[in-house]
Structure formats: structure tokens, C-alpha cells
Amino acid sequence: MMRSRLVTAGFLSGAIAAFGLSTPLTAKEGMYTPDQLQEIAAQLRESGLELEPETLADLTSFPMGAVVSLGGCSASFVSPEGLVVTNHHCARGSVQFNSTAENNYLANGFLAATKGDELPAAPGSRVYITTDVTDVTAQMREGTEGMEPLARYELVQQRRKDIIAGCEETLGYRCQVSGFFGGAQYKLIKRLEVRDVRLVYAPADSIGKYGGDIDNWQWPRHTGDFAFYRAYVAPDGSAADFDEANVPYEPEHHLKVSAKGVADGDFVMVAGYPGSTNRYTLLAEVENTFEWNYPTFQKLIEEWIATIEDAAPEGSDARVKYESLLAGLNNFEKNLRGQMEGAQRVGLVDRRRAREAALAEWIAADASRAEYATAIAALAELSEESASASRTNFWYGNAARASLFGVARRLYRLSKERQKPNAERESGYQERDMTFFRQSMQAIDRRYDAGVDKATWTLFLKGYLAQPVEERVGVLDKAMGFTADTTADDLPELLGAFYAGTTLGDLDTRLALMDASPEALEASEDPFIELAVAMYDYGFDLETQSKTRAGRSLALRPAYMEAITDWQKEQGVLAYPDANSTLRVTFGNVLGGSPQDGLIYAPFTSLEGITAKDTGKDPFNAPAKQLELIEDKNYGSYKLDAINSVPVNYLSDLDVTGGNSGSATLNARGELVGLVFDGTYESINSDWDFDPRTTRSIHVDSRYMLWVMDKVDGAQALIEEMDIVTE
């Protein structure tokens, strides 16, 4: 643990070791971009990789060519016929979408007997296949030096949109321009957008979600978190919407699936699309997050969950609509608690303070580095401003959370953006975004209930009204009819008028308003639309302030990241960029651990652990057939001798985060030996600070996947379709 003190002369080398910058443990830390792997080729070979590290840099070759994104989760091809494997929780929305009272696939599982029986995935489901990555740093950054912050931000965003538009002239592709190292580098990522995605197989929740929220972020774990999609394209191989005439996509590469699996200590690596990390944030951002934002939000989420549960009783239609949100809120609340406990355990604030002092000492040791110090000082000031803005806007942001208010704001913003040429519209409002926009309008019916929404909006507004009047937003108070004397007791009547007078709960109305002009919406008497119109200028001003801060960051953060990179390079360590939903590779070993004194995590769990946990009640209600197979020790060829059973889940010391869900876990030969689906409770804080001693990721074992498919669900046809490696 870092003690709360400034770094003094002679402390630099100790600080570097404490932050994991020069110890052997750094082989486990790092979400590397594929092109970086050539620079750590020696480490990869020494760790056990049998493939040539250089081949991992080629996204169109094996095995990277088999790895895909689902736009929030990761996945990979495992057959030449477009079969895609991912986590059960990543595909569960599609299972739920296709379920009915008569065919409850969540409870019973789903297995298509033939390709013709495969079901369309939930609306908006995609398989993104990366086909090309181009460095566009020069195009993005040229001539931005010396510009005013807002102008710089807008120029960079316009260049991003223009580059994407050029890329998407090739029909069927979805492109993105992603920034790395704080905007020091930009890459254009071209991806085939497979729009016809079909559900092939998902075990029942009693396997795929075994343990539920109780076991979430916990070890030992016994969850069969896997499912299969299939990607379909037009007969000519181009991306197409769902059509009976479409054919399975034929990937250039697919992964072989190992029935032998891994043993304790074996080399493993994960290739996937991690969402975001905050490893390089400055002290002010860390302090604001862990000393104010997280504690405040965690308490609010607890109240949010209780409010929904009270307003939508078990078994009600409203509860069905809010089950997904409740699951997400419970997960987020547990995550926040883990983040805060982890930050306290490792002394995160003190560690970040010490790191910045150590970096400052390194900069001061060489006069040629003076520009780094100037940029970092300005960035620290900006971080303070951003943290202050975050606190100021917190209660207003929550006060604006009503579902239909959000719908109204988006519709009014769309009407405004459509007054501009398409190329100049804000991202999210261009023609390329309209399919997703329309689907979001349609999805509201499946997750909205007026009574529940009113109850939660009441909760948020109570928090807002509790703030001093001088800290509230005058234009919101005027639009809502709030005065200095308004109390929570006045809210039921005030909010009742909104829900009684709106028509935005109707799908056809929402879709029709996508084509409305600003004038038409400004003339509307719908109370939510009136509120959206009234708040537009204030919201636009907040957005402009945020963009201006972002423009300042674009000028400062690259210098900070260059300093970090050079500092680490002197220690023989390759700096990796924070995760940003682009393809990354991390590597390490199958490894248990001891996160605290007296607590031992074995590297594997077994089938017998399922039986030991089983109560017959959700979420510990394994299928009777599965329990019988376990009782009979019917392991087939999937047994791991070291545990005398079939391994269910295992631990590794890999560096992963949200978005990695469904990522292929590969052995030294690039064969699939499992899927990442979670991390231990002690690992939650690794988004901010990687601790090699306690950080562990949780994987579903390929042997358990095959055992369930073979013995429990009779998915032999899929096993035969895949290339199964037994040696």
C-alpha cells in the first residue's frame, strides 16, 4: 500500500516497482492493441505462446480474424458456417425477445434443431467483423495546435465524421475512428456489419445464469455462461437485413474448440473488445470519483432499486418490464461497492498521488521535459474543473431521468439536427444512426410502465429539491413549477399532470414524431415535449461547456500520455492505452489466488460444486437431468484429473473489463479453451488500478460447455459442426 505522503528524492524506483512498472507481474497487466504485440514478442514467447506473436498483429489472419464484436460484448467464430460463441448473458436479451408464456426459452433453454429453426436475434443485434485498421492520426490532428478549445473539438469531431462517411461509402460496413493515448493517436476501424443475426442455442437460465445476482462477482462460481448465434448475409456475401434467402456467413478464420482445456498454470490469452478503463486519470478525477461521485450514486441506486421493487411487485407485468433494469442496477450497485472497497484496500488515492509525484520528479530531472510539466499542470487544473462540473450537474442529471422526458429531448434534438446537412449533424443523429434511433423508440414499450416511471422520477426529484435553491437550475424550476416552498409532498400532483397529458407512451406517436419539425414540436401541448423545449438551451449550454473542456483536453492529454509512455519506456515497460471498445489482447496464466489473509481461491470449480449449491430454487436450481448426471459421475471425456471432475469455471490473472464479456480465452496454440464472463469481487477496482496479487478473471471452461452440450442439452449437431481438438 502507498502511504499518504509526497514522493521524495530516491523514491522513484520504489514507486515504479509498487505500481507494477518493472516487476515480472507486469506480464499479466496490459490491454494491448494487436499492433503492440510485436514489441512484447519476447514476453509472449517466454510466457508460453506457441504462435508467432507477429501473426497476432494481423487482424485478418488467424486467430484475430475469428474474433468479433457484438457492440457491447465480444464473441468469436467457431465454425466455417458463421457459428458465433459468446456469453449467455450477452445473448439473453435475444432469448427473452423470443420467449413467450408457451415457449419460455429463458426457463427451458433454446436449441435450434436445424438452421431453419434458428430465431432472429433481438432487434439491433449485430456482429461486427473488423476487416481493416488504418492510422489516421495526421488527418485528425493536423493544424489543431493553437486553436480555441471549442473550435478544436468541433474540427476533430467533424474530421471524424468525414472520415467515417468516406469509409462507409462501401455499403454494408460500419466504421469508427477511435482515439488512443488521450488523442495522441487515431485509428480508422472498418467493420463488416452483419445485421441478420440468429439465435442458435442457449442453455436454460438454470445453467447459463446459475447463481444469478447472488454469485455475481463471486468465487467459487458455477455458471455455464455461454450461448451461440449465427451470422447470416445475402447470397452474394454482402451484409443484409433478415431474409429467408440469406445464407450463413463464411468467415476466413474460425477457432478450434479444445476438449482438453487447460491446467493450473497454463498460458492463456484473451482477445476481445474491452469497454473502458481509467488507469491514467489524474488525482482530481480519482478523488472526485471515489470520495463523492461513487458514494453518492451508490446510495441513490439502492433507493432506485427499492422504488422499482415497490412500484412493480413480483409477478406483475410491470416487474417483467423492469427485470432487465433491476438486474443491471443490482450489478452496478455491487460494482460500485466493490470499486470503493477496492480503492480503500489498495489506497488508490494515495497511490495516484504518489504516481503523479514520481512522474513529476522524473520530469524535473531533465530540463528537456519541461513542456510535460506545463501540460500536466494545465491538465490537472482542467481535471479539477471537470470534477466540479460533475458534482454541480449530478442532481440536475438525475432530475432529468424520466423515460419520456428523455424521449422528448431526443426527438426535439433530432428535429434540430435535421435542419443541418447530414455530414454536420451530431453523432447519433445522422442518417447512419436512424435505424438504431428507431429501434430505441420501439424498445421503450418493453421497458416502460407509467406508474414505475413516475415513482422513480419522484425519487430523483426529491434529491434535486433537497439541494439549496441557489444550486438548483432556474429554468427547470420554472418549467416544472417549482418554487422555494415546493416539497416532495407536492410532487405527486405536479408529476401526475405530465403522465396524464402525454401521448409519448404510444409507439406510433413516437415514430411519427421522428419526422416532426422543430416548429411542430414547439407548438406541442404534450407536457414532456414542452419540458424538453424549455430545457433545450440549458442542455445545449452544458454540452458546449463539456465540449470546450474536451477541446482543452485534446491539447493537453497527449503530452501527459507521452510523458507516461517515455517514463515507463525507461523502465523497459511498454505503455498500453486505456480500453476504448477496440480489439485488445491480454495474456497470463490459469491461476488461483489469496485476495486476503486466510482466503484461498482454487483455480477450478467442479460439477460437484453445482450440486453442493443447489437448493431447487432460483438462482440455484440446476436441471434435474444435470444433477442426475453429476450424481452418476457421468463425466464423459471432459474430466480434469487434477480435480477428478469436469471443470466448470476457472480463474486467470488476465487483465479484462466490461465489454470483454464473451471474449475467447485461447491457449498457447490459439484454440478456444473458454470464455471470459466475470471477475472476482476483489478485481472490480482494476479499471482504475491493476493489482496483480488480487485481480482475477473468471472463465467458463470449454470442457463444461461441451459437457452441457453433449450430456445435458443434446447439441451434438453443433459439436459436429465445430472443430473439436482432443489432444
CA distance 723 to 83: 11
List pLDDT tens digits, range 369-401.
999 999 999 999 999 999 999 999 999 999 999
CA distance 224 to 210: 7
Of 19, 643, 704, 70, nearest to 357 by C-alpha is 19
89 noted as active-site residue: yes
Q: Identify whether the C-beta of residue 583 lies closer than 8 Å to the C-beta of residue 663.
A: no
Q: 366-387: b or e for each residue (b if 16 or more CB lie within 10 Å)? A: eeebeebeebbebbbebbbebb
Q: What is the pLDDT of residue 59?
A: 87
Catalytic residue chosen out of the listed positions 76, 79, 88, 89? 89
In 116-184, beta strands by DSSP E: 119-120, 127-135, 173-180
Placement of cell 482494476 in the chain: 686
CA distance 358 to 9: 9
Q: What is the pTM of this model?
A: 0.90
CA distance 72 to 273: 8
**Which of helix, strand or coil describes residue 135?**
strand
CA distance 202 to 216: 19
Q: Identify whether the C-beta of residue 682 lies closer than 8 Å to the C-beta of residue 342.
A: yes
CA distance 690 to 681: 13
User: 659 in the Ramachandran plot: left (φ > 0), alpha (ψ -120 to 50) or beta?
Assistant: left
H helical segments located in 315-369: 317-346, 348-364
- What residues have CB less than 8 Å from 67, skipping those under 6 apart? 74, 75, 76, 130, 271, 272, 583, 663, 664
| Element spanning 376, H or E | helix 370-399
CA distance 342 to 300: 20
Q: Which long-range contacts (CB under 8 A, 24 or more apart) does 615-618 make?
A: 618/205, 618/206, 618/212
Residues of the chain scoring pLDDT < 70: 1-27
Q: What is the pLDDT of residue 403?
A: 96
> 542: which 3 cell numbers?
452544458
Please count the other Cβ atoms lying within 10 Å of the Cβ belonging to residue 163.
19
In this prediction, what percent of the chain has a pLDDT beyond 70? 96
CA distance 145 to 147: 6
CA distance 52 to 299: 49
Q: Identify whether the C-beta of residue 217 lies closer than 8 Å to the C-beta of residue 681.
A: yes
Q: Is the bond preceding 24 in cis, omega lying within 30 degrees of 0?
A: no
Phi, psi of 185 (to 5 degrees): -140, 145
> 630: which 3 cell numbers?
453429476
Catalytic residue chosen out of the listed positions 196, 205, 215, 225? 225
In 484-603, beta strands by DSSP E: 584-589, 593-596, 599-601
Average pLDDT, the chain: 93
CA 7 → CA 11, 13, 364, 368, 725, distances in Å?
Answer: 6, 11, 13, 21, 53
Q: 89-109: b or e for each residue (b if 16 or more CB lie within 10 Å)? A: bbbbbbbbbbeeeeeebbeeb
Q: Which long-range contacts (CB under 8 A, 24 or more apart) does 34-42 make?
A: 34/58, 34/59, 34/64, 34/583, 34/584, 34/585, 35/133, 36/574, 36/576, 37/585, 39/574, 40/574
Phi, psi of 181 (to 5 degrees): 55, 45
CA distance 580 to 67: 16
Q: What is the CA radius of gyration of the chain?
A: 26
CA distance 725 to 293: 48
Dihedral angle of Cα 706, 707, 712, 718, to the nearest 10 degrees: 20
Query: Which one-letter DSSP state was computed for residue 175?
Result: E
Q: What is the pLDDT of residue 13?
A: 30
Q: Is the bond preceding 63 in cis, omega lying within 30 degrees of 0?
A: yes
CA distance 486 to 399: 15
Of 158, 97, 151, nearest to 124 by C-alpha is 97
Q: What is the pLDDT of residue 16?
A: 30
88 noted as active-site residue: no
74 noted as active-site residue: no
Of 495, 483, 551, 574, nearest to 527 by C-alpha is 495
Q: Identify whether the C-beta of residue 247 lies closer than 8 Å to the C-beta of residue 569.
A: no
Query: Which one-letter DSSP state was computed for residue 32?
Result: B
Instruction: Find the helix packing angle between 317-346 and 294-311, rounded to 10°.
Output: 160
> 520: which 3 cell numbers?
411542430
Residues β-bridged to residue 231: 197
Catalytic residue chosen out of the listed positions 524, 661, 663, 697? 661
Query: Which one-letter DSSP state was computed for residue 712?
Result: I
Q: Identify whether the C-beta of residue 215 lies closer than 8 Å to the C-beta of residue 620.
A: no
Phi, psi of 71 (to 5 degrees): 75, 55
Q: What is the pLDDT of residue 4?
A: 27
Q: What is the pLDDT of residue 478?
A: 96
| Element spanning 310, H or E | helix 294-311
Pairing of strands 74-77, 83-86: antiparallel
% helix, strand, coil for the chain, step of 5: 50, 15, 35
Residue 569, burial from CB neighbour count under 10 angstroms (0-12, 13-18, 19+): exposed
Pairing of strands 724-725, 257-258: parallel
Q: What is the pLDDT of residue 54?
A: 86
> 299: which 3 cell numbers?
446510495
